[in-house]
């Protein structure tokens, strides 16, 4: 849960950083370019660590992450932030935990109990109610982009978290952004030609953060947390992300949160704590066996690492 929390903290600066980056770059350039930057870092990391090529089964799961995590979420939210504020876009992250839990139930075999779903839906409803009451959630055309980004992001989170049970989380995101290059690189080049960047220090630093942290380092902690704590359970920490985003938007962009923000944040925190107390099962695996399952997975990871680093391989 600590690792997942670190990921949420790093992700919370994504929308404010994107808003700053939009001062010097086109939205598509930001969304695709941050993936290209992360792919360069990932390529170096994979080469230095001599990471083995994923299996066919793992490639299939990695490709499922590419449309959302690899390229789609970044491009769609960047375009949407051309028309809405960072606080408005934070509504997406308020609904993302519930969507991620739903995908985890479908794809990862997790079986959250009634208390979990009640707490999760209550938290999501609180976020949406807060956004509407603060005039941040009125219906706009950009909301369709945010909704699509939400769906793609939920699939990418759940599939990546599921794959992180088989390989380290850092390796998952490295392969995802590398596999996204055939799409992200042409988009970045075309966008840069059509709308040449007007680089300044602030927008350049913001884009650097998006590439190195939002698209790279943040996922090291996030995917590892999802795999170890459970995708549905750990994803609920993102209920707090909209309020962290609003706080950073106030600090960086000068937006001033209303007192109701703190009331809503307290309610969401209560929902997160309730979700953590919920019982969890796993399709085909008794709840009491979940610890044993995790032990077996981590043992496999240790064996894989030992084999990869052995001078006698």
Sequential pLDDT tens for the chain (313 residues): 899 999 999 999 999 999 999 999 999 999 999 999 999 999 999 999 999 999 999 999 999 999 989 999 999 999 999 888 887 777 666 778 777 877 877 665 666 677 777 887 887 788 777 766 755 555 567 778 888 898 899 899 988 888 988 899 899 999 999 999 999 999 999 999 999 999 899 999 999 999 999 999 999 999 999 888 888 778 878 878 888 888 888 888 877 766 777 777 778 778 777 766 665 555 444 333 333 344 444 444 444 444 444 444 4
The domain spans of the chain are 2-283
Residue 282 in 3-state DSSP?
Answer: strand
Quote the CA–CA distance of 36 and 215 in Å, as a whole number.
Answer: 9
Quote the CA–CA distance of 122 and 86 in Å, as a whole number.
Answer: 23
Q: Cβ(95)–Cβ(152) under 8 Å?
A: no
Quote the CA–CA distance of 8 and 27 in Å, as a whole number.
Answer: 23
Global pTM?
0.77
Quote the CA–CA distance of 137 and 95 in Å, as a whole number.
Answer: 12
Which among 262, 241, 217, 266 is positioned nearest to 86, based on CA atoms?
Answer: 241
DSSP for 20-46 reads HHTTTS-HHHHHHHHHHHHHHHHHHHH
The count of other CB atoms within 10 Å of the CB of residue 179 is 20
Which among 84, 99, 77, 93 is positioned nearest to 30, based on CA atoms?
Answer: 77
Q: What is the pLDDT of residue 257?
A: 65
Span 242-297, pLDDT tens digits: 888 888 888 888 777 667 777 777 787 787 777 666 655 554 443 333 333 444 44
Quote the CA–CA distance of 144 and 136 in Å, as a whole number.
Answer: 15
Q: Cβ(130)–Cβ(257) under 8 Å?
A: no
Quote the CA–CA distance of 118 and 120 in Å, as a whole number.
Answer: 6
Span 214-247, pLDDT tens digits: 999 999 999 999 888 888 778 878 878 888 888 8
Q: What is the pLDDT of residue 295?
A: 41
The count of other CB atoms within 10 Å of the CB of residue 135 is 11
CA angle, 33 then 234 then 172, to 5°: 40
CA atoms in the 13 A half-sphere facing the CB of 20: 23
């Amino acid at each position: 849960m600590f690792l997942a929390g670190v990921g949420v903290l790093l992700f919370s600066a994504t929308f404010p950083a994107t808003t700053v980056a939009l001062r010097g770059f086109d939205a598509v350039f930001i969304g695709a370019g941050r993936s290209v930057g992360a792919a360069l870092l990932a390529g170096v990391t994979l080469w230095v660590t001599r990471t083995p090529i994923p299996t066919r089964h793992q490639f299939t799961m990695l490709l499922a992450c590419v449309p959302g995590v690899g390229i789609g979420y970044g491009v769609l939210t960047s375009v949407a932030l051309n028309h809405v504020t960072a606080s408005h876009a934070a509504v997406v992250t308020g609904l993302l935990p519930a969507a991620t839990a739903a995908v985890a139930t479908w794809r990862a075999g997790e079986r959250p109990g009634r208390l979990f779903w009640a707490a999760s839906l209550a938290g999501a409803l609180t976020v949406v109610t807060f956004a509407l009451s603060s005039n941040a959630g009125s219906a706009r055309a950009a909301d369709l982009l945010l909704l699509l980004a939400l769906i793609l992001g939920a699939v990418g989170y759940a599939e990546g978290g599921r794959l992180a049970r088989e390989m380290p989380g850092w390796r998952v995101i490295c392969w995802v952004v590398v596999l996204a290059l055939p799409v992200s690189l042409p988009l970045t080049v075309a966008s840069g030609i059509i709308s040449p960047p007007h680089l300044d220090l602030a927008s350049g630093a913001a884009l650097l953060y998006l590439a190195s942290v939002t698209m790279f380092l943040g996922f090291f902690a996030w995917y590892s947390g999802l795999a170890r704590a459970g995708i549905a359970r750990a994803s609920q920490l993102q209920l707090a992300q909209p309020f962290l985003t609003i706080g950073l938007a106030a600090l960086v962009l000068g937006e001033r949160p209303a007192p109701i923000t703190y009331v809503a944040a307290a309610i969401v925190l209560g929902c997160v704590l309730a979700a953590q107390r919920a019982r969890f099962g796993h399709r085909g695996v008794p709840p009491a066996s979940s610890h044993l399952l995790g032990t077996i997975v981590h043992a496999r990871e240790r064996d894989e690492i030992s084999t990869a680093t052995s001078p006698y391989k």
